Amino acid sequence: MESLQVIKQRFGIIGNDIHLNLALEKAIRVAPTDISVLVTGESGVGKESIPKIIHALSHRKHAKYIAINCGAIPEGTIDSELFGHEKGAFTGATSTRNGYFEVADGGTIFLDEVGELPLTTQVRLLRVLENGEYIKVGSSKVQKTDVRIVTATNLKMHEAIEKGKFREDLYYRLSTIEIDLPPLRTRNDDIHLLFRKFAADFAQKYQMPTIRLTNNAVNLLLSYNFPGNIRQLRNIAEQISVVEENRSIDSEKLSKYLPNYRSRNLPSVISNTKDKNDFANEREIMYKILFDMRKDIKNLETLTLDLIKGGNNIQVQEEHQHLIDKIYKEDKSDALQNEIQVVYPKETYVQENQNYDFAETVVEDESLSLQDKEFEMIKKSLERNKGKRKLAAQELGISERTLYRKIKQYDL
């Protein structure tokens, strides 16, 4: 069996990301078998490389390998393309045609964007997977085929199944082994490496000097989230190689080739519902929490003053304590808990002989600047996690890139 490094060189795969390596190792291990494989991942991550590796390392490597984009074939003709048709089966069928499953007999078929298959075609494909049988369009004769089926999709298949767009039984037959390829934005150490490879390729193709990125341009490149993944990175490298006369590219020039750079780096809110009142990003959620906390603290101040004035009013005391417990339960951050402790320490109760002027002074000293709270929360989280940004970002519920920008903003 060929080593991982040899496979990368053979198929032009660049990168050392751990998740990429795991996906490739799984493909290498499963290749000698005839197990069906489903390759998943976002559009542009390079899913088409996996079936090539599987075919090349299998006992079918000397037979045909056919790659089919299911989303590019019209629904009315896809059955004919895959399974063939008889003469006169439909208007325009002037001769008998062999389908891909007949042509690739003994080899491998790669069905890209398999989630786009019509339900009627899914039934036919399920029959091929179960017993290797299919029927040409317009024929009643059952034919046999021996093919290895590898599929790929960028859809969330469980959602497609729930919506009735994909058969559950077919999904489980296709995904005996599932190989997931990571998006480019999670392969931080590979981004610049890939860019340099693409830049060198295009320099050779167009016979011009290779473009180089300055340090600030590299940092900008690494901070971009690449919604189009490797395909988008390759296109950017080609555009710059052709358009720019100066072969040294700084961050200002690079930013012109990164669509919606600023908006792409805002934290995103992931929700199972599509409520039009959902917040646009994590920052707004945090601000909402702070405003809610401010309202609760104001109510707490009022109850505290009522306790001081009213003495042993049991109802006021119970409401007072309930509000404190609610604030502690809703937010565990040290910054907000310290805010509560200033107004009313949780471990003590207001005594009848407390000075009203003292309580009034506490209220006047209160500080609820959103930026101050954000600064304090980030600072304390970094201290608790001993400066480890990844752990601090997870604790704060924001992305690591967002935390990095905040650290620079507040000069932490």
- Rounded mean pLDDT of the chain? 81
How far is it, in rounded angstroms, from Cα 230 to Cα 251? 20
For residue 353, the model assigns a pLDDT of 41
3-class DSSP state of 209: coil
Phi then psi for 170, rounded to 5 degrees? -70, -40
Distances (CA, A) of 273 to 114, 216, 277: 26, 39, 10
Return the CATH number of the domain spanning residue range 4-182.
3.40.50.300
Q: So what's the pLDDT on residue 306?
A: 64
Side-chain half-sphere CA neighbours of 394 within 13 A:
6
- What pLDDT sits at residue 356? 38
- Provide the CATH number for the domain formed by 371-410 in this structure: 1.10.10
Domain ranges of the chain: 4-182, 185-264, 282-368, 371-410
CB distance 60 to 68 below 8 Å:
no
Judge if pTM exceeds 0.95. no
Q: What is the pLDDT of residue 398?
A: 81
Residue 135 β-bridge partners: 142
The count of other CB atoms within 10 Å of the CB of residue 393 is 21
* pLDDT tens sequence for the chain (412 residues): 678 999 999 999 999 999 999 999 999 999 999 999 999 999 999 999 999 999 999 999 999 999 999 999 998 899 999 999 999 888 888 899 999 999 999 999 999 999 999 999 999 999 999 999 999 999 999 999 999 999 999 999 999 999 999 999 999 999 999 999 999 999 999 999 999 999 999 999 999 999 999 999 999 999 999 999 999 999 999 999 999 999 999 999 999 999 876 544 444 444 444 444 444 455 566 666 766 676 667 666 666 666 565 555 555 555 656 655 655 555 444 444 444 444 444 444 344 444 434 333 333 344 445 667 777 888 888 888 888 888 888 887 788 778 877 887 777 7
pLDDT at 349: 38
- With left for phi above 0 and alpha for psi between -120 and 50, is residue 59 left, alpha or beta? alpha
Q: Give the DSSP per-residue string, 306-322.
A: HHHHH-S-HHHHHHHHH
CB of 195 closer than 8 Å to CB of 210: no
Q: How many CA atoms lie within 13 A of 8 on its CB side?
A: 14
Dist. CA 409–CA 141, nearest whole Å: 71
To which H or E segment does residue 107 belong? none
Angle (CA) 163 169 171, round 5°? 70
Common-topology check for domains 4-182 and 185-264: no
Whole-number pLDDT of residue 231: 95
Count of Cβ atoms closer than 10 Å to residue 70 Cβ: 21
Which tokens sit at 295?
Answer: 């309202």
What is the model's pLDDT at position 81? 94
CA angle 145, 151, 154 (to 5 degrees): 160
Please state, in angstroms and rounded to a whole number, the distance separating the CA atoms of residues 153 and 39. Answer: 7
Task: Name, in order, each residue with C-beta under 8 angstroms of 281's C-beta and a sequence gap of 6 or more.
Answer: 266, 267, 268, 269
Place of tokens 């669509």: 259
The fold of 185-264 is Helicase, Ruva Protein; domain 3 (1.10.8)
Residue type, position 113, single letter: E
- Residue 371 has, within 13 A of its CA and on its CB side, a CA count of 4
